[in-house]
Copies of this chain bind each other. A is one copy, B any other.
């Protein structure tokens, strides 16, 4: 069933689902089809919808049904009625759950079926809405055309050479490393970097020490891809407790192959590892001969003072450091490009594993990013993002501090950077908070999910992906949940969706 829409600029068709599932009321089906077209970008924000008479004639349905579907979408914020002019697609579209693994299609379904829009407290992802998408699209187009001309298609398993050179220069200049293109491997996000290390460098029975609370997807990569044993080491206000690590290293002897750390803004607590701990970790690595996997997932985002340089910038450590970083945080989660910087002997093994695993990365995306770096687009975006996120961070801190109800319940000592605050509950269980927030339409990941077992009365409050208005709204919801204190919510199942970092 095809309908063409003049003002949109190009004809578009409703999804076949409109004609398909006859059990769903026509009003809902029409609504879903329109939302889908908006999400796919075929109906642009601000463009006019054809009149309801035109629509119902083309869809061969009663006009009342079309009018009702449009009213549904208007109440959900997808469409805006303009008096005497018709209906247009909203300029600011509704927010979606961002922390969950839901597809846009399923999200749209949820929005429509439940008749309300959900908001998820982000884990600390960047805001795709401010990303340099136009520039990326243009660079992608040029990369594709160049690809056709050169008849190429297969690339280097370590990634596009130009991008590797650029990334080496980028971290050298901004983070004090002294790397060359030959020491860089481009990966599928930072998770791809960790799994590549697991596959190339670990064997069953090897031990890897990790931070606890920490980044559980890393644990899974070491355990389930390499059969390694993950050893949990506590974190305090100064980062990884290196005394505890020393005791573990002593106990494990030669089996400890690597330590996985997030020293810049510890995940999830955001604390920076102190210089003393860093030196202690370096000495231990030398003495016990293990690798330091330094996951520097959001180095760009420091808001107060200048940050400590990465461990990998220390000349005497660089040989045993596996530096992991990501462009997903710098641009958008959908730009799934991470990279590893490591000693050439490690790079050789990573490259081989990569070739076996899936041969190479996304040539088109890698070349596009190289171009965006060369043209300064990434650098400009980073400056702009830092400014916007800094403002959002200040706003969230101000909201949390200015409300007596929130100040009374939550404790939050902001670290100097990162894209999230670590908020501790002064009383009560985070699981009740999660349940109450969910009942109010807000999805929240409890801190316990960052532990191998046990509970942690805290949560990550990502601020970067939310506008100031959204942050205020989230804080009002948290305030409202507080009013129910003393009447704990029922023990609904509240083990949260997995955290989504980069």
Query: Which residues of A approach B to under 8 Å, CB–CB?
Result: 13, 38-42, 44-45, 93, 95-96, 98, 101, 103-107, 125, 127-129, 131, 133, 136-137, 140-157, 160-162, 187-189, 191-192, 195, 199, 204, 217, 220-221, 224-225, 328, 332-334, 336, 353, 355-360, 362-365, 367, 371, 374, 465, 498, 500
* A103 contact from B141, B160, B364, Cβ within 8 A: B160
Question: Can you name 4 extra interface pairs (CB under 8 A) apart from A104-B146, A204-B204?
Answer: A40-B143, A101-B157, A136-B144, A225-B357
* Bound complex: CA A160 to CA B39 (Å): 13
Task: Using A133-B148, A149-B39, A334-B363 as known contacts, say yes or no to A103 and B155 having CB atoms under 8 A apart.
Answer: yes
Q: Is the CB of B362 within 8 A of A93?
A: no
Residues on B with beta carbons closer than 8 Å to the beta carbon of A357: 188, 191-192, 195, 221, 225, 357
Residues of B within 8 A of A44 (CB): 145
Give the nearest-CB partner of A218 in chain B. B356
Which B-chain residue is minimally distant from A159 (CB atoms)? B103
CA distance A365 to B38 in the complex (A): 18
A42 to B156, CA, bound (A): 22
Instruction: Enumerate the 9 nearest inter-chain pairs by beta-carbon distance, A residue then B residue, closest first.
Output: A153-B333, A41-B146, A188-B358, A137-B141, A41-B142, A192-B358, A41-B145, A153-B334, A220-B356
Q: Residues of B contacting A128 with CB < 8 Å?
A: 147-148, 151-153
Within the complex, the shortest CB–CB distance from A227 to chain B, in Å, comes to 8
Picked from B13, B199, B358, the residue with its CB within 8 Å of the CB of A336 is B358
Contact of A150 among B39, B147, B353 (CB under 8 A): B39
Instruction: Decide if A150 touches B93 in the complex (CB within 8 Å).
Output: yes
Contact A362 B359 (CB under 8 A): no
Whole-angstrom distance between the Cβ of A95 and the nearest chain B Cβ: 6
Q: Is the CB of B105 within 8 A of A131?
A: no
Q: Which residues of B contact A155 (CB under 8 A)?
A: 101, 103
Query: Nearest chain-B residue to A374 (Cβ)?
Result: B13
Using A151-B128, A154-B500 as known contacts, say yes or no to A356 and B195 having CB atoms under 8 A apart: yes
Contact B353 A336 (CB under 8 A): no
The one of B140, B150, B189, B221 that contacts A96, using a Cβ cutoff of 8 Å: B150
Chain B residues with CB under 8 A of A40: 142-143, 146, 367, 371
The reply to whether B149 and A191 form a contact with Cβ atoms under 8 Å apart is no
Residues of B within 8 A of A195 (CB): 356-358
Q: Which residue of B lies closest to A140 (CB)?
A: B140
Decide if B145 touches A103 in the complex (CB within 8 Å).
no
9 of the cross-chain contacts (CB-CB < 8 Å) are A98-B151, A104-B150, A133-B148, A136-B144, A140-B140, A140-B141, A199-B225, A224-B353, A362-B362
Q: Please give me the residue from chain B that is nearest to A375 by CB atom.
A: B13
CB-CB under 8 A from A191, the residues of chain B are 356-359
Q: Check A105–B333 contact: CB distance below 8 A.
A: no
How far in angstroms is the closest Cβ of chain B from A157? Answer: 7
Q: In the complex, which of the residues B105, B220, B332, B359 contacts A147, with contact meaning CB atoms closer than 8 Å?
A: B332
Minimum CB distance partner of A370 in chain B: B40
- Which partner residue on chain B sits nearest A363 by CB separation? B334
Identify which of B148, B199, B328 contacts A129 (C-beta below 8 A).
B148
Residues of B within 8 A of A149 (CB): 38-39, 41, 45, 93, 129
**Closest beta carbon of chain B to A107's beta carbon, Å:** 7
Q: How far is the CB of A351 from chain B (nearest CB, A)?
A: 10
| Shortest distance between the CB of A131 and any CB in chain B (Å) | 6
Contacts of A39 in B (CB 8 A): 146, 149-150
B96 touches A151 (CB 8 A): yes
Docked CA distance A395–B355 (Å)? 34
Do A153 and B125 have beta carbons less than 8 Å apart?
A: yes
Query: Cα distance A110–B208 when bound, in Å?
Result: 43
A47 shortest CB reach to chain B, Å: 12
Minimum CB distance partner of A169 in chain B: B16
Question: In the complex, are the beta carbons of A332 and B153 less than 8 A apart?
Answer: yes
